[in-house]
Amino acid sequence: MAREINTVGVVGLGTMGAGIAEVLARHGISVVGVDRDDAALDHGRGTIEHSTQRAADRGKLADDERTALLGRIDYTTDLTSLAEVDLVIEAVVEQLDVKIEVFQQLDKIVRDDAILASNTSALSVTEIASATKLPSRVVGLHFFNPAPVQDFVEVVRTVVSAPDVVEDAVALAQRLGKSPVTVGDKAGFIANALLFAYLNHAASMYEAQYATREDIDAAMRLGCGYPMGPLALLDLIGLDTAYEILETMYLQDRKRVHAPSPILKQMVTAGLLGRKSGRGFYTYAEPYSSQVVPDATTPSSDAAPQLRREIGLVGVVGTGTMASGIVQVFAKAGYDVVYVGRTTEKVDGVRATIAKSMDKAISRGRATEDQKTEILGRLTGSTEREALADVDIVVEAIAEDLDVKLELFRDLDRICKPGAILATTTSSLPVIACASATDRPQDVIGMHFFNPAPVMKLVEVVSTVATADDVTETVNALCANVGKHAVSCGDRAGFIVNALLFPYLNDAVKMLEAHYATADDIDVAMKLGCRLPMGPFELLDVVGNDVSLAIEQTLFREFREPAWAPAPLLEHLVTAGYLGRKTGRGFRDYARR
């Protein structure tokens, strides 16, 4: 670093500021923590002591290291104590006027060569800098919560930030063991610009009573591998903070997807701020607790769904990867399965696929030869749909083509016995269209398994306006019987998971298209900053850009949300045949690796 940064001031010792102070002290830097009064200081000190004690209890911090760490932090209510620090990180409330006032005071106190940094997650660093006498020394240093754990930092440069100031901020982040990415001054930067539109959409989905809070959160955890569901994450962030970030983004870009969902404003006004207040979308044992406790809307364990229709014999139509996985799921759970394919070769391929899957499980000690024999013994393959005449439920897993599905459902209506449930695994097509092709729309439902079906726990159970209540309850109970977690939702494009996931992926493509950040930086931001299992471009290349484009087009046609119009860059890649891993080239070139 060009500057020697040995002492850092942290203004604001809330959850974020306390975490930043701990990180700095952990890496040998002397810290001066400043807050408005003794009570705030005591809270910040307590937060740091509790965090470090927990690390010590877990063996991640030796007792002498903890003592030394705590000894590097001084606490004061006097901003003038920062006169000789090398850098100040502001972490006060996310309100522009408050931050500007802090920076104007700091401007009169610190040395001219000291760096002033804001931990803002969405506000304009340029506006903050412009209120100071030396705007060139002001940058954003956006840590993620909890700062001692999260490895990502966004270094935000303004149009007037001095290059050496930006370089020194990056070097400091690296010294702290973080992975910094330098970005321009745009509301939300990378991570929050992508994250909060998704969170806002989830809040709107809940407000519209499309799905319960539990089902929305379970869908994203189990369907996408996210560490937290969106509503639980909003409670962790703080609904007041989320509202301010969204409002800031909306005022800058005027996109409707950033206009805070009305329920957020209502909850903030009512003081339901999430974990910090003990109540948000969920209810907690006490303020700042992570322990969720039952409340008036918590589902009762006594209300577990029951099999209202007898399910003994299961039918599956299809022989692809998804169909084979579904056959295995039911057979492993003890159900006899009749599956139908177009040719003997394809039918035999399903058995071979399941046998290979079981062999892999046996080699890993997760299954036995006897179990393999039992599972294969429950399978009956056929090339004739008439073999499904006696099944109690048939699950369709054929091509995602509405005309093909309609023809199948008309035929299933003719073949299957009265009272048999007809289910489709479609991920985006209207279930009601399949139902309307039959004379028994009350018996038709969506069962959207996720790939690979034997591994993924989630099933979206999609009821249409015509689906009978006993069918919905039976399918939910059946999912539990085969070891799956069912979430219930209505019949609209994308259901829960794809409706929340693909607008976020589309936003990432538009961010890349605008040259705001590279694909690598965006992926790093979302993996490290938000703890997602894959970055958006990694995921797009795995899913297939053609599949992603088709889903985004379906969502756009149904909801007519301008911000969801597929990014031209994605359309161009698909037109060029750059579909992702399956073609060797997508957002990244796999053929050369």
What is the amino acid identity at position 294?
Answer: P
In this prediction the pTM is 0.91
Same structural domain for residues 51 and 163?
yes
| DSSP secondary structure letters along 470-515 | HHHHHHHHHHHHTT-EEEEEESSTTTTHHHHHHHHHHHHHHHHHTT
355 and 371 both lie in a single domain: yes
CATH number of the domain that residue 239 is part of: 1.10.1040.10
Between strands 7-11 and 30-34, the pairing is: parallel
Taking each helix axis from N to C end, the angle separating 239-253 and 230-237, rounded to the nearest 10 degrees, works out to: 100
Closest C-alpha to 218, from 236, 206, 200, 204: 206
Secondary structure of 540-567 in the HEC alphabet? Answer: HHHHCHHHHHHHHHHHHHHHCCHHHCCC
Q: Domain boundary residue among 185, 219, 240?
A: 185
Select from 122, 88, 112 the least CA-distant residue to 102: 88
Residues 6+ apart with CB under 8 A from 150: 143, 144, 528, 529, 531
Is 142 designated active site?
Answer: yes
Place of tokens 């522009």: 96
Cα dist from 293 to 220, 264, 285, 343, whole Å: 21, 21, 6, 53
CATH number of residue 458's parent domain? 3.40.50.720
Asked if residue 288 is part of any domain, the answer here is: no
What does the pLDDT look like over 421-434, one tens digit per residue? 999 999 889 999 99
The answer to whether 121 is a known catalytic residue is yes
CB distance 229 to 198 below 8 Å: no
- The secondary element (H helix, E strand) that includes residue 230 is helix 230-237
pLDDT > 90: what percent of the chain? 93
Shared domain for 387 and 454, answered yes or no, is yes
The pLDDT value given to residue 2: 67
In a domain, 161, yes or no: yes
CA 534, CA 199: separation in Å to the nearest integer?
18
pLDDT of residue 592: 57
* pLDDT score of 175 more than 70: yes
Instruction: Tell me the pLDDT tens digit for each residue of 19-56.
Output: 999 999 999 999 999 999 999 999 999 999 999 999 99
Nearest CA-CA partner of 446 in 466, 422, 418, 469: 422
Q: Which amino acid is at 420?
A: A
The reply to whether 497 falls in a domain is no
**Residues, the chain, total?**
593
Clarify whether residues 128 and 162 are in a common domain: yes
Quick one: pLDDT at residue 252?
87
pLDDT for 3 equals 82
Backbone angles phi, psi at 569, to 5 degrees: -60, -40
Block residue for tokens 């982040």: 173
Instruction: Give domain status of residue 590, yes or no.
Output: no
DSSP helix/strand/coil, 301: helix
Structure tokens at 229: 């569901």
Judge whether residue 303 has pLDDT over 90: no
Answer yes or no: 130 catalytic: no
Does the structure show a pLDDT above 70 at 217? yes
The pLDDT value given to residue 253: 87
Distances (CA, A) of 342 to 317, 386, 452: 9, 13, 22
Count of CB atoms situated within 10 Å of the CB of 159? 9
Q: Is the pLDDT of residue 413 over 80?
A: yes
3-state SS, residue 233 = helix
Residue 322 DSSP class = H
Cα angle value 502/505/508 (rounded, 5°) = 155
> Is residue 308, in this structure, part of any structural domain at all?
no
Residue 18 confidence (pLDDT) above 80: yes
| Domain containing residue 481 | 313-491
Q: Which of 118, 192, 463, 545 is catalytic?
A: 192
Q: Would you state the pLDDT for residue 346?
A: 97
Residues 366-379: pLDDT tens digits?
A: 999 999 999 999 99
346 within a domain of the structure (yes/no): yes
Catalytic residue among 121, 124, 261, 428: 121
Give yes or no: residues 374 and 420 share one domain. Answer: yes
Q: Considering the domain boundaries, does residue 588 fall inside one?
A: no
Same domain, 330 and 451: yes
Burial 45-75 (b: 16+ CB within 10 A, else e): bebbeebbeebbeeeebeeeebeebeebbeb
Give yes or no: residues 266 and 351 share one domain.
no
Residues 456 and 515 in one domain: no
Secondary structure in 3-state letters for 179-203: EEEEEECCCCCCHHHHHHHHHHHHH
- Domain end residue (candidates: 185, 211, 241): 185
Q: Judge if 333 and 203 occupy the same domain.
A: no
Quick one: 349 exposed, middle or buried, by C-beta within 10 A (0-12, 13-18, 19+)?
middle
Q: Does residue 6 carry a catalytic annotation?
A: no
CA distance 478 to 486: 9
Q: So what's the pLDDT on residue 132?
A: 96
Of 465, 491, 517, at which residue does a domain stop? 491
Instruction: Find the catalytic residue in 22, 90, 94, 154.
Output: 154
- Does one domain contain both 431 and 516? no
Residues 40 and 81 in one domain: yes
Domain membership of residue 285 (yes or no) is no
Spell out the residues 6+ positions from residue 330 whose beta carbon is closer than 8 angstroms to its own.
Answer: 314, 316, 337, 482
pLDDT in tens, 306-344: 999 999 999 999 999 999 999 999 999 999 999 999 999
Residues 403 and 454 in one domain: yes
Q: Of 51, 119, 142, 460, which one is the catalytic site residue?
A: 142
Q: How many domains does the chain have?
A: 4
Q: How far apart are CA 356 and CA 14, in angstroms?
A: 54
